[in-house]
Structures are given as structure tokens and as C-alpha cells.
Amino acid sequence: MSFTNAPVTRSLVYGLVGISIAVSLLDIKHYFYILVDLHLWRFHQTWRALIYQLCYTNSSEVLFAAMTLYNMRAVERMWGSRKFATFVFITLILTSILTPIILTLLLRPLTLGLFNYLPAGPTPIVFAILAQYHSMIPPIYKYKVVTSISASTDDQAQGITLSDKSYRYLLAFQLALFQWPGSLLGALIGWLVGLSWRTEALPRSLIRWRLPGWVVGMRTQRRSQEFEGLRRRLEGEGAPTAAATGAQSQGESESGRRRTVGQQVMDQFQGAF
């Protein structure tokens, strides 16, 4: 019930957990992270850029990513499954291209080869969704953590103001720091892609494009809506018919009662005569 009206988010969470467990059981984790000098320059394994976001290589990252995605399911509910799935797909393509390119051609040369590792995991996608969550979902309540004991009774006491969304940001921030600087780079690229989508900095045709409806099961949903509409129309037509039938039967019963009383009176007069 917690994933109601959020089938894409549910698929992301279940897929992330399932693939991460399968990769660990099959002992193929070494295929999902990227070492620039070894995998890209020496062996030219560019296909790693297309699969490195499919799973995480340790259970802590899986847990934090699944919790973060679960807490951001309201984004799909507000957008609709088709738009949300399109956003996730476009973000996957853009971050799979931009993150390895920026690491390989910019950051690695600037750091003299020290920044050479890109960890596995959909951290860029998580932070792209987080950018939408930050802009769309307002906080429900706020509270202050007072840092000065002497001023704890004062309304203007110094402290840190937090909200019900703060722990969600804390989960995502921890996810970005698990394997930094590589995970931090992915988080930054994902946030920028999400912000670009939000501010329509990306090409308008890319933002307006949508995945086919059958990808998110819209055909089945539309068919069920059609059956629901037909049922309501039949119920609407059946109600006046039932009312008319009831009125007609009631009129016949009343006329029957009137005729019976009249016949009784005529019988009494006929008996008198």
C-alpha cells in the first residue's frame, strides 16, 4: 500500500535491491565500477558506462538508496508514472554519458591521475530525483535544535532549524559520501541534470518527449477506466429504470387496492338491493 500510485518507484527499489543481491551472489561486482586508466584507456570497455548505474556493490549503499527512493515516491504521484519514467530514462542516459566523460577528460587530468575511480550505483539518478523533490514537495513542519543551553527558553534562541524533509536529505548526503570523490561526482552531476530539467535548461523537445504508455502499463489502466466508466453509465441508466419500474408497480398495486375496495362497496349495495 505504501507504493500506491507509484509503480515506477516500486520497480526502481525492487530492481535495485534484486540486481544488487544477484550481482553479489554471482560474484560479478568487478564489472560495474569504472577505473579510467584500466577499463577505458587500456581495454576500451566503454560499455561499462551503460551498466555502472544498475546496482551497488555494498549493502549499505543499497539500503540508503532504497530508503531515499522510497521517501521520494511523492514525485511520481504528482507527475504521473509516464512523465516520471521518462525523466528517469533521460537522466540515466545523460548521467551515463556525462559522468564518465567529465571524470576522464577533465577531473583525472586536473588531479594528475589521482581521481581515477567511478563507483557503481544509480547515485546520479537518486540525486536528479532529489532535485525535483526539493523543488516540488514543501515541508510539513519545522523544528529547531537549540545549540545554546542558556538561551533554550528564549524564542530567539540560536540553533539549527530542521524540517521533516531533513532526514531524507541526510540519507542522500550519506549516499554521496560512501565512496567519494567518485560518488560525490555522480551526486553532483545528477543534481545538475535534475535542476536543468526543472528549469527547462535542457532542449524543449527532450523535456516534452514521453515514453510509450505501455511501458508503465497505461493501456491496461485506460482499459480499466473504460470499463469503470461503462459500469457507471449502466448504473446511471439502471437507476431511473428501476425507479420507473417501482413507480409503475406501486401504481398498479394502488389501483388494485382501489379496485378491490370499489368492488366491495358494489357488493354491499348489490346485497342490499
Mean pLDDT on 34-55: 94
Q: 219-243: per-residue pLDDT in tens?
A: 655 555 555 566 666 766 655 555 5
Question: What pLDDT, on the 0 to 100 scale, is given for residue 269?
Answer: 46
The angle at the Cα of 148, spanning 144 to 154, to the nearest 5 degrees, equals 65
Residue matched to cell numbers 584500466: 38
Q: What confidence category does residue 152 fall into, taking pLDDT thresholds of 50, 70 and 90?
A: very low
Q: Helices 81-102 and 182-198 meet at what angle, rounded to 10?
A: 130
In angstroms, the CA 129 to CA 123 distance is 10
Find residue 248's DSSP bridge partners.
none
What pTM did the predictor assign? 0.77
For the domain spanning 7-216, the CATH number is 1.20.1540
